Chain A
Amino acid sequence: MSHYYGQFINLLAAILLLLSFAMLGQRRILSLINLFMAQGAVLCVSTATVAFVTGQSHLYWSALITLLLKVILLPWILHRLIRRLNVKWDIETLINIPTTMLIGIVLVIFSFNLALPISELAGTVTRATLGIAIAAVLLAFLMMITRSKAVPQVIGFLAMENGLFFAATSATYGMPMVVELGIALDVLVGMVILGVFFFQIRERFDSLDIRHLEQLKED
């Protein structure tokens, strides 16, 4: 039976990767937030499954934190933010989307290769998914690089945290509870601070395009 659980976790990992790519190719901020929410939900289910298979009870708490924070609270904050900032327009990307996707595929190949030796050493049920976790981190990173507006960059940052969390689950069955709580709090506080930043950036430049920040340089 654990054979099927392993396959189920693999399936969830594949969906996570798919969602990462969907976020990379998404043009609308609203859909981006919904995709982020879906990614959180997949993460939550996969963590709960790993907890069930391995009997590591602290992973249930991780799943619960993921559910509360990434599926409910953060998307809610983001939805409120974009409503108040009134930014529903299409996202501008610095590189066009097909090129971004191709770079994404290269990143996936790179991270799969990177993960292979590590997975061979690991003895966890989830060892095969480590490559996907690294790929998710790098794809979120790529999303932060290629987007010029502030809100998608923050979503990229949050998605990167999702990837890291998934990597921790797949490599070592999660981090200690204290670390996890600390990261959760960090993300939440970071979100609040960035939310304040959005308003400041917009007040200063009348736009959320962070390329304007380059004008702050003194030369």
Chain B
Amino acid sequence: MIGDRMDILAPILLQFLELLMALALAPLLTGWVNQCRAWLQNRSAPPLLQPYRQLAKLFEKEVVLAHNASSLFRAAPYVIFACMALAAAIVPTLSTDLPFGPAADAIALVGIFALARVFIALAGMDVGTSFGSLGARREMLIGFLAEPALLMVFFTASLISQSTSLSTIVSTLARGEFTIYPSLAFAGIAFSMVSLAENARVPVDNPTTHLELTMIHEAMILEYSGRHLALIEWAAALKLYAYSCLGLALFFPWGIPQAAEFANLPVALAGLLFKLGIGGFLLAVIETVSAKMRIFRAPEFLGTAFMLAVLAMLVHLLLETGK
């Protein structure tokens, strides 16, 4: 009797655990990337827990609103945060058999990211400062180029596993007979390029800059303060976490257990932390070795990502079918 109940409860509990873990780990990942970047650039590194302190500080501060800020401006941080938390919960990290798995597939995930993007762009334009609308326009430019590439990457993975559900994709890739998929190599490169653009990372945008000519993400959130800013920063960290987990789940799926059982938890958790650590370090390396592009080079960068994703699909159709 108790065993039966555990069978029903375990997936739900694990799902909650996954969500809580995403909320807790996301700032840590940001801190780790910042630390690696500081090491690589010969600076003295900020402490690993710095993002948490920043969030705590911002949550304590008072919110200052512009006179003409509408209710949308006040609601946007919550919407964005909710979208990112949901996205992080959908991506299978601890198990491929979680309740949220069938609820949303890869295409819905892209939709959730798009919803957050629309709200942050609207909020950027809401107060009517020139920086806000400049940032919003640039964000939409990046977004409309990055989205098709991301969808194409998902379609390639879906063609391989015959399903758009993330759990099915991951379990097919992780547990099927070992096969070399050249198409996934292409898709992986395309996905990394899209992630760099979507997370406002160096070749496209600089997350630490406040230089008016170059900033994209920062320009939109200049007007935010206090707990609103904290939520947005946290959401940005969650987005980086969700994208990292997504990349790991699609291209390095080994070690994500099938069954949602607590017995598998330590292995899954250790694997995830190890992979995230390496992924964060690689991100810092990319950010250190590449220079920020001019904004008008970004379409070319994302066009290349789209092309790679299309090639991935073509290569899949040519090389990996009909055998």
Complex Cα gap A104–B308 (Å): 11
Evaluate contact between B180 and A18: CB separation under 8 angstroms: no
Q: Which of B97-105, B238-246, B297-305 contacts A (4 or more CB under 8 A)?
A: B297-305
Evaluate contact between A13 and B314: CB separation under 8 angstroms: no
Complex Cα gap A101–B311 (Å): 11
Complex Cα gap A210–B45 (Å): 52
Evaluate contact between A105 and B186: CB separation under 8 angstroms: no
Of B299, B307, B319, which one neighbours A105 at CB under 8 angstroms?
B307
Evaluate contact between B318 and A7: CB separation under 8 angstroms: no
Evaluate contact between B183 and A25: CB separation under 8 angstroms: no
Q: Is the interface of A mostly helix, strand, loop or mixed?
A: helix
Of B189, B300, B318, which one neighbours A132 at CB under 8 angstroms?
B318
Q: Given A97-B300, A128-B319, A132-B318, does the pair A10, B182 have CB atoms closer than 8 Å? A: yes
Question: Which residue on chain B has the smallest CB distance to residue A24?
Answer: B307
Complex Cα gap A104–B307 (Å): 9
Evaluate contact between A98 and B180: CB separation under 8 angstroms: no
CB of A181 within 8 Å of the partner chain? no
In the complex, what's the smallest C-beta–C-beta distance from B184 to chain A, in angstroms? 10
CB of B66 within 8 Å of the partner chain? no
What's the A-B contact tally at a CB cutoff of 8 Å? 58
Task: Give every chain A residue within 8 A of B308 (Cβ-Cβ).
Answer: 18, 21
Of B179, B304, B319, which one neighbours A14 at CB under 8 angstroms?
B319
Interface residues of B in 279-323 (CB under 8 A from A): 299-300, 303-304, 307-308, 310-311, 314-315, 317-320
CB of B141 within 8 Å of the partner chain? no
Of B182, B183, B189, B307, which one neighbours A101 at CB under 8 angstroms?
B307
How many chain A residues touch B (CB < 8 A): the figure is: 26
Complex Cα gap A18–B315 (Å): 10
Interface residues of B in 148-207 (CB under 8 A from A): 179-180, 182-183, 185-186, 189
Task: Give every chain A residue within 8 A of B314 (Cβ-Cβ).
Answer: 105, 108-109, 112
In the complex, what's the smallest C-beta–C-beta distance from A58 to chain B, in angstroms? 26
Of A21, A25, A128, A129, which one neighbours B311 at CB under 8 angstroms?
A21
Task: Give every chain A residue within 8 A of B299 (Cβ-Cβ).
Answer: 98
Complex Cα gap A10–B307 (Å): 19
| Other A-B pairs beyond A14-B319, A18-B186, A21-B311, 14, CB < 8 Å | A7-B179, A8-B180, A10-B319, A10-B320, A14-B182, A18-B189, A21-B308, A101-B303, A101-B304, A105-B310, A105-B311, A105-B314, A108-B311, A128-B318
Instruction: Report B's interface with A, CB cutoff 8 A.
Output: 179-180, 182-183, 185-186, 189, 299-300, 303-304, 307-308, 310-311, 314-315, 317-320
